[in-house]
Structures are given as structure tokens and as C-alpha cells.
């Protein structure tokens, strides 16, 4: 527990910004993960909490659900593919626990979609990439004089 003695919510303007962030690529880290039973109790999904760590939307949270155990094998295969992309993006190829994926920067590709149940706009993470830039091309040695120019 934390001591909040002296805090008065009557004197502070509340912040309730739940609008989705714009579609794009964001640098983020996984801050939490847990297995949960799916709604139909026929499998489990790994829920990952991502926190944007750079730019205008720094500290915003987004979630991904990977249905790793599901009666539909295609659903489970897609989820395993996303997990593999996350593992490769953060450089942990054989995690024993999802906590090993926490706090390692990666790039998430965020889209905006309309929810089928409420019609509201929400974010969805559609891809995971390494934060590491592509290797620079090898520079050619231009200081050496070509033998035919001597």
C-alpha cells in the first residue's frame, strides 16, 4: 500500500484519454504478461502489455493476446508466429518464461480498427520488429589509389 495522505481528487482535473493512438510503428517494451483462460474455456491466451517508450505517445499502453492454446489450430499457429516474431525482435529465442521478454525494446506496428461489439475505434498490434537498425553497408576504401592511376 502507498500513503496518499494529503491527496485531494477534488483539486485535480482527471485524465480519461482512452482514444486510440494513430496507426504507425512505435518503440515499446513488454511490461507485463500472463496466461488467461479464453472466454469459452477451451484454451488459453498469453496477454502481453506493451508500453510505448519514445515519441509523442510515450507511456501509452497497448495489449496483444496470443491464443497459443486454442481448438482452432490455425488460430494457435498464427499466435505462435506472433510470439516467434516478438522473440526474434527482442533477441530471446527460447524463453522459459514470458517475463524474459519484458523491458526489451522492440518496434510494434499498430493499426486502428473498429470494434465489432461496440463500433468504437481501438488499437491492434499487427507486427513486431527488431529495434536494431539494419547494418550499414560496408564502406569502400577510397583513400587507396587505383593501380592504373599511378
Domains of the chain: 17-131 (2.40.50)
The model's pTM is: 0.78
- Would you say 85 and 93 are in contact if contact means Cβ atoms under 8 Å apart? no
- Spatial strand order of the sheet with 61-69 comes to 61-69, 44-52, 24-37, 106-114, 121-130
- Tell me the per-residue pLDDT of 56-109, one tens digit each, with 9 for 90 and over: 999 999 999 999 999 999 999 999 999 999 999 999 999 999 999 999 999 999
Residue 93 is predicted with a pLDDT of 96
At residue 132 the predicted structure's pLDDT band, cuts being 50, 70 and 90, is: confident
State the average pLDDT for the chain.
88
DSSP state of 115: -
Which of 121, 128, 125, 112 is closest to 63 using CA atoms? 125
Alpha carbons 107 and 111: distance in angstroms, whole number: 13
Amino acid at each position: 500500500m502507498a500513503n496518499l495522505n494529503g491527496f485531494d481528487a477534488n483539486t485535480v482535473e482527471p485524465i480519461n484519454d482512452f482514444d486510440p493512438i494513430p496507426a504507425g510503428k512505435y518503440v515499446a517494451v513488454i511490461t507485463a504478461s500472463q496466461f488467461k483462460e479464453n472466454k469459452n474455456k477451451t484454451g488459453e491466451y498469453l496477454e502481453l502489455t506493451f508500453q510505448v517508450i519514445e515519441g509523442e505517445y510515450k507511456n501509452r499502453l497497448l495489449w496483444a493476446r496470443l491464443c497459443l492454446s486454442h481448438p482452432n489450430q490455425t488460430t494457435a499457429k498464427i499466435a505462435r508466429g506472433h510470439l516467434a516474431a516478438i522473440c526474434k525482435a527482442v533477441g530471446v529465442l527460447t524463453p522459459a518464461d514470458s517475463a524474459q521478454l519484458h523491458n526489451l525494446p522492440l518496434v510494434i506496428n499498430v493499426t486502428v480498427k473498429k470494434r465489432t461489439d461496440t463500433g468504437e475505434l481501438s488499437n491492434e498490434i499487427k507486427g513486431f520488429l527488431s529495434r536494431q537498425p539494419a547494418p550499414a553497408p560496408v564502406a569502400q576504401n577510397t583513400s587507396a589509389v587505383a593501380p592504373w592511376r599511378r
